[in-house]
Amino acid sequence: MSTRDTVTVRVPAKVNVQLAVGAARPDGFHDLANVFLAVSLYDEVTVTRADALTVTCSGPDAAQVPLDRTNLAARAAELLAARHGLSPDVHIHIAKDIPVAGGMAGGSADGAGALLACDALWGLGSSREELLEICAELGSDVPFSLIGGAALGTGRGEVLTPVEAGTFHWVFAVADGGLSTPAVFREFDRLTAATAVPAPQADPALLAALRSGDPDALAATLANDLQPAALSLRPQLADTLAAGTGAGALAALVSGSGPTTAFLVRDEETAAKVAAALTASTTCRTTRTTTSPAPGATVLAR
Ligand X SMILES: Nc1ncnc2c1ncn2[C@@H]1O[C@H](COP(=O)(O)OP(=O)(O)OP(=O)(O)O)[C@@H](O)[C@H]1O
Residues written for the chain: 302
273: annotated active-site residue: no
Pick one of 65, 116, 138, 252: the residue that binds ligand X (CB under 6 A): 65
- Smallest gap, in angstroms, from Cβ of residue 238 to ligand CDM? 19
β-bridge partners, 9: 45, 299
- Is residue 172 near ligand CDM by the rule CB under 6 A? no
Using the rule CB under 6 A, give the single segment among 102-110, 166-174, 195-203, 237-245 that binds ligand X.
102-110
Please give the span between the terminal C-alpha atoms of the chain, in angstroms, as a whole number: 18
- By CB under 6 A, tell whether 107 contacts ligand X: yes
Residue 13 near residue 302, CB atoms below 8 Å = no
Q: Which of 14, 43, 110, 119 is catalytic?
A: 14
Q: Which does 110 bind (CB under 5 to 8 A by kind): ligand CDM, ligand X, none?
A: ligand X
Closest to 190 measured CA to CA, from 24, 16, 18: 24
Q: Would residue 239 show up in a list of annotated catalytic residues for this protein?
A: no
How many whole angstroms separate alpha carbon 133 and alpha carbon 226? 26
- In the complex, least distance from residue 104 CB atom to ligand CDM, rounded to whole angstroms: 8
Query: Could you count the other beta carbons within 10 Å of the beta carbon of residue 164?
Result: 13
Distance, CA of 82 to CA of 187 (rounded, Å): 36
Q: 100 labelled as ligand-binding?
A: yes
Residue 130 Cα distances to 71, 78, 122, 146, 151, angstroms = 21, 15, 15, 12, 19
Burial annotation 221-236 (CB, 10 A radius, 16+ → b, else e)? bbbbbbbebbbebbee
Helix axis angle for 128-138 and 72-83, nearest 10°, is 130
Q: In the bound complex, what is the minimum distance in angstroms from residue 56's beta carbon to ligand CDM? A: 23
DSSP state of 295: B
Q: Is 99 annotated as a binding residue?
A: yes
Q: Would you count residue 71 as binding ligand CDM (CB under 6 A)?
A: no
DSSP string, 14-43: EEEEEEEEEEEPTTS-EEEEEEEEEEEEEE
Nearest alpha-carbon partner for 72 in 120, 105, 48: 105
Considering 31, 141, 189, 225, which one is annotated as catalytic? 141
Query: Is residue 141 involved in binding ligand X (CB under 6 A)?
Result: yes
225 binds, among ligand CDM, ligand X, none (CB under 5 to 8 A by kind): none
212 is in an annotated binding site: no
Is 213 labelled a binding residue? no
Among 35, 39, 100, 132, binds ligand X (CB under 6 A): 100
Q: How many CA atoms lie within 13 A of 167 on its CB side?
A: 7
Confirm whether residue 175 is marked as ligand binding: no
Q: Is 204 flagged in the annotation as binding? A: no
Residue span 248-287 as binding mask against ligand X, x where in contact by CB under 6 A, dash where not:
--------xx------------------------------
- Nearest approach in angstroms of CB 279 to ligand CDM is 25
Residues that bind ligand CDM (CB under 6 A): 16, 19, 28-30, 32, 34, 105, 108, 139-141, 156-157, 181-182, 185, 256-257
Task: Name the binding residues for ATP.
Answer: 99-109
Active site residues: 14, 141
User: Contact positions toward ligand X, by CB under 6 A?
Assistant: 65-66, 70-73, 94, 100-108, 110, 141, 178, 181, 256-257
